[in-house]
Amino acid sequence: MDTEALKLGAPNEHPFMPFSSLGLSPALLRAVNARAYTAPTAIQTAAIPAVLQGRDVLGSAQTGSGKTAAFALPLLQQLAQAPKEKPRRARTLVLVPTRELAAQVGEEFRSLAQHLADPVKVTVVFGGVSINPQMMGLRGGTDIVVATPGRLLDLIEHNALTLGSVSTLVLDEADRLLDLGFAEELEHVLALLPAQRQNLFFSATFPPAVQALAQTLLHEPVRIDVLPEPQNEPDIEQRAMTVDAGKRTQLLRQLMTQHGWSRVLVFVATKHAAEIVADKLRKAGIDAEPFHGELSQGKRTQVLADFKASRISVMVATDVAARGIDIAQLPVVVNYDLPRSTTDYTHRIGRTGRAGERGLALSFVSAATEAHFRLIEKRQGLKLAREQVAGFEPTDTAPAVPSIGGIKGKRPSKKDKLRAAAARKQ
Ligand code: AMP
């Protein structure tokens, strides 16, 4: 895999270049304007011309870098210029790891396509909801499919869709796709695609499995590295408060009242904790809803929409909400329970301070979790002062055994054990 490397600074740092210089059509420039994007982000500046030239792209970038528009804009332009087929056949396939990301990517495509002379049909499909409406939605064909891999394969099995006309494949958050165990589904999907196609590959991290996948997929890609952090970091103020575990809900309530926080994303360790904490907050008079993987898709969509529209003030989430979700104007993220890994810490706090806004990421630390937080700090190169709030001074002492399962990677997770067992069987 020969690559042409392009290293860029932080997501918003780029040599000034207006959108109009990137080769996009007036209809797309109108849509960009309507979304109030004044200038392209670094990844957009680099990726848009490369995609328009038909090149493969290997993008190392996080959600928040503007990567969706970086591929959506040039792909829409290609589609708009391509000869029309009747019935429509899927030309662009975007694979994403989660339902929320699928919905977001689909929304961005639709919004950017709104001024095109010939309407472009965008179909979003994901699991966890009934397949029938999605099958109906694919009647008469479609131009762009945004999908999670499992449901895509189900739809193909139901003859609702074929991939024989796909000319561009986008893998979005490839690391997460593999993390979530989609490797096998991905392989099936790839086998159904025409060999001759353009491939756009985006990932925040490049562990060996992701590199290997990129290697097999990409042909002489233009490599774009949008370096995350440090320039980005000052946008997110990170703080740590020591508090006894049993006092965290009251402390959160006090902080919300004292600082007038109207919208807070609270992270907890488990689905059960999400339910319990949301319940406690509601009892304390705060509109809070849990958000985790065991809720129905309808419920998750509803809670997220309510949170985005400020109909509820607190969303109590597991790490399912830590990646991919984009909530504009989210000033505060609270680690009510600490994340297991430093990667999860980065993803959680990255929900705030987006698109140039300032954000606060607050971690509650107790005697039992102090050692774990120190590890996170060490790996993040951080050293945060431990703050205390009057009336919430901790009194608990550290237990002999730490109450958190250790940093991810040090011990095999449940999924690691399942994978190891599967490997032994082969
Ligand atoms: P993404 O990395 O694609 O998830 O985008 C993160 C956020 O940045 C989304 O809310 C986009 O709507 C927004 N965005 C994308 N491109 C730009 C731009 N050029 N200027 C300002 N905001 C943007």
In 175-257, at which residue ranges do the beta strands (DSSP E only) sit?
198-203, 222-226, 236-242
How far apart CA 91 and CA 79 sit, in angstroms, is: 8
Cβ-based neighbour number of residue 383 at 10 Å: 9
| CA 375 remoteness from chain centre | 24
pLDDT in tens, 123-181: 999 998 999 999 999 999 999 999 999 999 999 999 999 999 999 999 999 999 998 88
> Ligand 1 pocket, 69 CB below 6 A?
yes
Pocket of ligand 1, candidates 62, 94, 202, 326: which has the most ligand atoms within 8 Å of its Cβ, to mutate?
326
Name the amino acid, one letter, at 103: A
Q: Is 355's C-beta closer than 6 angstroms to any atom of ligand 1?
A: yes
Q: For atom 22 of ligand 1, which residue has the closest CA?
A: 37
* pLDDT above 70 (res 229): no
The answer to whether 126 touches 37, Cβ cutoff 8 Å, is: no
Give yes or no for residue 71 CB within 6 A of ligand 1: no
41 lines ligand 1 (CB under 6 A): yes
Cite the DSSP H helix spans in 335-426.
342-349, 370-380, 414-425
Could you name the CATH architecture of 4-230? 3-Layer(aba) Sandwich (3.40)
Using one digit for the tens of pLDDT, what is the confidence trace for 286-304? 999 999 988 888 888 899 8
- CATH 3.40.50.300-classified regions of the chain: 4-230, 234-387
Q: Which architecture characterizes domain 234-387 according to CATH?
A: 3-Layer(aba) Sandwich (3.40)
Residue owning tokens 């010939």:
118
What is the dihedral sign for C-alpha 42, 221, 103, 75?
Answer: positive
Return d(Cα 182, Cα 208) in angstroms, integer: 16
Query: Around 95, how many Cα atoms within 13 Å sit in the side-chain half-sphere?
Result: 31
pLDDT on residue 408: 45
Question: What per-residue confidence (pLDDT) applies to 311?
Answer: 92
